[in-house]
Amino acid sequence: MLKTTNHVWMSSLALLLFTLATRTLAANQAQDPTHASATSSRGSPVSVQVLSLLLVLGYTFGTERYARHGSKTARAVSDNSSRSTVITIVSATIFPFAGALSLFDPLAMPPLPTVVVAFLFAVELFAIWLRYHSMHILGIYFTRSLKVQEGQRVIQSGPYAYIRHPGYLANLLAFFAHAVLVSQNYGVFAIVFCAMAVVWSVRIDLEERMLVSELGAAYVAYQQRTKRLIPFVL
């Protein structure tokens, strides 16, 4: 699972570098100076994009490192785990297509106002806090793949008192903010964010089926009184 996650983020880094290199080359070759200016002033500045990428990379690999503590004694549910791995691999194929689409000028984002950039960074930081807080609450029960621990019980404290999947909510918030800051293109943002939302929706379905099967009536009762991602809403 770590390898497939690495592939996703290496693809993301490649997308960013490819897009920046292509636009720089286009700006240098353009005879019309106004075109060069427009090419280099989309979305957020390069420094903001790089910082956002570093935050999300740290978020991702930090999660992987934390997950190793619980994975040693966990019992894998092989069918669901393999299916989720396939989903992760498929999600990595989004980035090359998004990289090509990012060069399509009519979909280019205008420069982001400073207040919007600050808000998006705040969303990323909140997502990182929520993710690590959720992992801390789960303790040894936290794993990256679909697994259960011997004697595992339903956790209902912290954010789990209100929603069943705060970790996935953190993922969506982090990747939403990151996609806006890095994509610089409405089409890229829509494709990447929507595709990842679909991937995590499928993953949540798989996880909930596993937990109902493994934890039984206790998890069914927990489902009935909580929402998946947004308290009292969804």
User: Per-residue pLDDT tens for 183-215?
Assistant: 767 777 777 777 777 888 888 888 898 888 888
Q: Max CA-CA distance within the chain?
A: 69
**Tokens standing for 5?**
């996650």
| 20: CB partners within 8 A, 6+ apart | 46, 49
Q: What is the pLDDT of residues 79-98, one digit of tens each?
A: 444 455 555 555 555 555 55
What pLDDT was estimated at residue 22?
47
Task: For domain 2-225, give the CATH number.
Answer: 1.20.120.1630
What pLDDT was estimated at residue 54?
72
What pLDDT was estimated at residue 137?
86
What pLDDT was estimated at residue 68?
58
**Tokens standing for 186?**
């409405």
Listed as ranges, residues in the chain with pLDDT below 50 are 1-11, 21-40, 71, 73-74, 78-82
Domain residue spans in the chain?
Answer: 2-225
Task: Determine contact, residues 126/133, Cβ cutoff 8 Å.
Answer: no
The residues that bridge with 75 in the sheet, in sequence order, are: 148
The residues that bridge with 29 in the sheet, in sequence order, are: none
For 18-27, the CB contacts below 8 A with 24+ separation are 18/99, 19/99, 19/102, 19/103, 19/184, 20/46, 20/49, 22/103, 23/103
What pLDDT was estimated at residue 2?
44
What pLDDT was estimated at residue 29?
46
Cα atoms in the 13 Å half-sphere on the side-chain side of 16: 22
